[in-house]
Copies of this chain bind each other. A is one copy, B any other.
Amino acid sequence: MQSKEALGKERLIWMFTQMSRIREFEERVKRTFVEHPGVIRGHAHLGDGAEASIVGSLTARQENDLVMPSYRCHGYPIVLGTDARRLMAEIYTRKDGICKGFGGSMHLADPAHHFVGTSGIIGQGIAHAAGAALTAQVKKTGQVVFSFFGDGSSKQGAFHETLNLAAVWKLPVVFVLENNFYQAYTHIRLEDANFMAGDPLSQKAKAYSIPGVTVDGTDPLAVYEAVGQAAERARAGQGPSLIESRFYRFTPHGNAITVPPVPTQFQEHEAIEVYGNKAEFEAARANDPIPKFRKALIARGAISAADADRIEAAARAEMDEVVKFALASPLPAPEDAVNYVWA
């Protein structure tokens, strides 16, 4: 793989573009709760704050490598080339949705773009990702599978069982533990024994004798390098690795859980809402990965400020279009519901 220093200008611009697109998409999702109440149902989970980690990871992908995130899954398909209009239409419960209105925000899927599907149940997607890696191994496709899940999910039995078995079978999978310091409303210091002891969560890798690395998830190039090395290892038949990518999510866990017809929205971040810790939240916001990367790219001479502005403006324009498309898309017919039960 290319070192992060060797990444070409075009690639770097691509990275910045994808980060901007994710951010703008998620902003639109959040605003929809205010501007079009009722249009999004159920529970939506946003990836703002995760952009560097998502895009850095996926920069390490090769053509045909598969991606399996958790229910917090809007960002990945945006990078993979899924039509963002159809993603938003799905979140808006529409017929043109990528899953025709059957799945919603937690259950996006676009296998044609290497995004196999997600589970809303904690930890299970980790095993599913290893399963996709089994397919790659048995069919000798050369694919690597990128598995994404949260810090909270690493306390589920599925994590443990899957990492051991993936190590035993040397499956071509990279496990990216996205440590955003919260599982729903719970701060990680209340639930993770490693964290409480001052140890990194990547130390969990020792239980499976696989490489474990902790990386700054607000730096897309650092993430690219760590995930890239793990992907190379996986592709070479040496088995899985665990990457702990640390970043902060900027929005609360999900829109508030209410009973219809009580309207739902995003509240304040748990740091403030639950723990009254404004300082933590503001420090994280000050370390926003997008302006940081923008600055780094300009410093590196990969991009001018004007170009960066244009990219951001294009992302905004695209996502305005996306919202328009999704709002205009019709609802599914009631009777559509009987489809797709059986293959």
Please list the residues of chain A having a beta carbon within 8 angstroms of any beta carbon in chain B: 155-161, 163-165, 167-168, 190-194, 196-197, 199, 203-204, 206-210
Contacts and interface: CB of A to CB of B under 8 A. Distances in A.
Contacts of A199: 206, 209
Given A157-B156, A159-B160, A160-B160, A209 B194 contact: yes
A128 to B, nearest CB: 15
Contacts of A155: 160-161, 164-165
Given A168-B192, A168-B196, 10 more contacts: A155-B164, A156-B157, A157-B160, A160-B161, A163-B193, A167-B196, A193-B208, A194-B208, A194-B209, A203-B209
The DSSP consensus for interface residues of chain A is helix
Nearest to A239: B193
Given A157-B160, A160-B159, A207 B196 contact: no
A196 B157 CA distance: 21
A192 to B, nearest CB: 7
A163 B193 CA distance: 9
A110 to B, nearest CB: 30
A208 B194 CA distance: 6
B168 A194 contact: no
A190 B204 CA distance: 21
A203 B164 CA distance: 13
B206 A193 contact: no
B156 A161 contact: yes
A159 B204 CA distance: 14
A162 to B, nearest CB: 9
Given A164-B155, A168-B192, A193-B168, A203 B203 contact: no
19 contacts: A155-B160, A155-B161, A155-B164, A155-B165, A157-B157, A157-B158, A159-B160, A163-B193, A164-B192, A164-B193, A168-B191, A168-B192, A193-B209, A194-B209, A199-B209, A203-B206, A203-B209, A204-B206, A206-B206
A197 to B, nearest CB: 3
A194 B284 CA distance: 37
A207 B192 contact: no
- Closest 3 A/B residue pairs (Cβ): A157-B157, A160-B160, A197-B209
Contacts of A168: 190-193, 196
Contacts of A158: 157
A70 to B, nearest CB: 17
A203 B210 CA distance: 12
A155 B207 CA distance: 10
A280 to B, nearest CB: 21
A177 to B, nearest CB: 12
A214 to B, nearest CB: 14
A161 B167 contact: no
A206 B202 CA distance: 10
A207 B209 contact: no
A263 B27 CA distance: 69
